[in-house]
Structure 1
Amino acid sequence: MIRTDWRDHDWQLIHAAPQSPSLHMALDDLLIHEVGAGHRAPTLRIWEWAAPAVVIGRFQSLRNEVDADAARRHGIEIVRRVSGGGAMFIEPGNTITYSIYAPQSLVSGLSFQEAYAFLDAWVIGALGELGIKAWYQPLNDITSEGGKIAGAAQAHRGGAVLHHVTMAYDIDTTKMLEVLRIGREKLSDKGTASAAKRVDPLRSQTGLPRAAVIERMIAHFRHLHGLGDDSLRPDELARAEVLAQDKFSSARWLTDVP
């Protein structure tokens, strides 16, 4: 396969109203197939969350990663995504999440590590414009002098690659440690103060409102790679809603790895 570059493609932006965690999982599953089949142009999708969530990786054990009782107590939905990687703690006003749906040709010939670095480069540049010295940390983190900023995950299928990133704009560390078991293991011996340092949010590093950070990210992508404004088509949304209900809201999918 001949390798393509960003500017070889007609990139489109989707930035829709807040949606449920299960619908976001479904949209990722749907849109990677749509781009792979050539039914949709390569796309950058900025997520808006309608509810708090814990998102676990495709191959993670539910019981090992999440305290389900604590999640229920805090009204946090647990969902499983189609990509690998680790668990993400999501609160709507505290999180910036985006997905890139690209033809496989964009990362053709690259190793997994090289593909992560390549697909993260634009957002590291955007963070630099915001005054944050950030860098890619293998395999799937974006970090800074203040601490980790974001985690990424990928899925490859049907001639396309899905690369999605969750960034910490702000974070309720206490609540995160109640809900994520892995967080407790990593941080329990260091205390909550150290936990806050491990993930250093964009709010403290930029002093900007969340919407302003997203606006600057979009502008940087548009400057580098070109980016038209698009939206979800009615048929895409309808199919994603069915997929969210039948697959991503089902106990069978969530407990696929108990």
Structure 2
Amino acid sequence: MLCIRSNTLDPAFNLATEEFLLDNKADECFYLYINRPSIIVGRHQNSLAEINVDYVKKNNIDVVRRLSGGGAVFHDPGNLNFSFIMNKERNNTEGFKKYTRPILDVLISLGLDAKFEGRNDLTIDGKKFSGNAKCLYNDKILQHGTLLFSSKLPDLSNALKVNPLKFQDKAVKSVRSRVTNISEHLKQPITLARFENLIFDHVRSLYPDSEIYNLSDADIAAINKLVEDKYGTWDWNFGSSPQYNFQKGIKTNGGFIEINLEVQKGRIEKAKIFGDFFNSRDINELENFLNGMPHDPQHIKEKLNSIQLDHYLENVSVEHFMEGLF
């Protein structure tokens, strides 16, 4: 087994590394990484429906889609992430318990009453500190999980707070649970770095053939290419979202506006705008202008700034209209 630790906080690079290891290493792998503030959405989720767009934009939070299913999770430098990449033929009957057991071993050794509960969660006193997900890929199994150690829980709550009435789709929805940080339950405080070392060393002790592996320059170049082509792109992180309908009403200086969007593969297929606003040009022109655009704030704002929006929505600024689109 190759045991690897990341030296970057870039979530796109770290998720691309998981795919690279799945696709390019014959050895089984264990990978530990920490990300800067980011939301990691499940493979089958509608990304926009899982995030608080305004908060995410204001705080420069990355949104990256992962290979595995399940719900969206918030990462920050107080959250440790672990991945097991194993051969399918050897582990095809194994569930989440096998690869969360090493984590529980370490926590129990620290005096915590940590448990595996439900389908894929680890808890302390009934509060979740770890969510886990998995996928099959090229005859291998990827199972990975989060470990909330000293995360900023208010940031987690705010980043994932979204109005469910805005979206109608069949995408997988995240289930919010009461969460806690591991550090809050330790009798003797330790640093996240120390906690990471304990996990890394314990996993190595469980696999006698394990060796510490550092990514080579060729590995890093290939991973960066995967970031450029996939994990750092709008098409993967948002355009891969399932079909959905979006609806939102806003009050503006020009009156009430209701916006309805039908979105397919992240692009607006049909826009309809209703309200008690005044206009000097046919609102259908604005609707047609929006059709075909990515449902992406930066792209839409840039396009709207190229037209005279007040011809269609009198006394409505681009910034205010944008509030109704997300």
Instruction: Say whether residues 1:167 and 2:147 are aligned partners.
Output: yes
**1:103 aligned residue:** 87
Deviation (angstroms), 1:63: 1.8
Cα RMSD of the aligned pairs, angstroms, is 1.8
Post-superposition, which runs of at least 4 consecutive aligned residues in structure 1 deviate over 6 A? Answer: none
Deviation (angstroms), 1:146: 5.3
Equivalent residue of 2:95, what SS?
Answer: helix
**1:209 aligned residue:** 191
Counterpart Cα distance in 1 of 2:110 and 2:180: 15
Cα deviation digits, residues 101-120 of structure 1 (max 9, x gap): 11112322x1xxx5111121
Is the contact made by 2:8 and 2:34 (CA closer than 8 Å) also made in structure 1? yes
Residues 6-155 of structure 1: matches in 2 within 5 Å?
Answer: 11-35=1-25, 38=26, 41-49=27-35, 51-92=36-77, 94-108=78-92, 110=93, 114-145=94-125, 147-155=127-135
Cα deviation digits, residues 59-88 of structure 1 (max 9, x gap): 111121111221111121111111111111
**1:221 aligned residue:** 203
Is the contact made by 2:6 and 2:14 (CA closer than 8 Å) also made in structure 1? no
Cα deviation digits, residues 25-81 of structure 1 (max 9, x gap): 21111111124xx2xx211111133x2111111111112111122111112111111
Equivalent residue of 1:29, what SS?
Answer: helix
Is the contact made by 2:3 and 2:204 (CA closer than 8 Å) also made in structure 1? no
Is the contact made by 1:169 and 1:210 (CA closer than 8 Å) also made in structure 2? yes
Q: Which runs of 5+ in 1 are unaligned?
A: 1-10, 186-196
Counterpart Cα distance in 2 of 1:229 and 1:28: 16
Amino acid aligned to 1:84? G
Cα deviation digits, residues 128-173 of structure 1 (max 9, x gap): 1111122222322111225111011111111111111111012322
Structure showing the higher helix proportion among its residues: 1
Counterpart Cα distance in 2 of 1:52 and 1:177: 13
Equivalent residue of 2:74, what SS?
Answer: strand
The two structures have a TM-score, normalised by structure 2, of: 0.66
Structure showing the higher strand proportion among its residues: 2
Is the contact made by 1:153 and 1:165 (CA closer than 8 Å) also made in structure 2? yes
Cα deviation digits, residues 234-258 of structure 1 (max 9, x gap): 2221111011111111111112115
Residues 238-253 of structure 1: matches in 2 within 5 Å?
Answer: 238-253=221-236
Amino acid aligned to 1:83? S
| % identical aligned pairs | 22
Counterpart Cα distance in 2 of 1:138 and 1:161: 21
Cα deviation digits, residues 173-207 of structure 1 (max 9, x gap): 2222221036x88xxxxxxxxxxx92121111222
Amino acid aligned to 1:86? G
Equivalent residue of 1:86, what SS?
Answer: coil
Deviation (angstroms), 1:97: 0.5
Equivalent residue of 2:90, what SS?
Answer: helix
- The count of corresponding residues between Structure 1 and Structure 2 is 226
Q: Structure 2 residue aligned with 1:236, among 208, 211, 219?
A: 219
Q: Which runs of 5+ in 2 are unaligned?
A: 165-176, 242-265, 267-326
The two structures have a TM-score, normalised by structure 1, of: 0.82
Larger radius of gyration: 2
Equivalent residue of 1:181, what SS?
Answer: coil
Counterpart Cα distance in 2 of 1:173 and 1:218: 25
Is the contact made by 1:66 and 1:179 (CA closer than 8 Å) also made in structure 2? yes
Amino acid aligned to 1:136? F
Distance 1:96 1:58, change over 3 A: same
Counterpart Cα distance in 2 of 1:228 and 1:253: 33
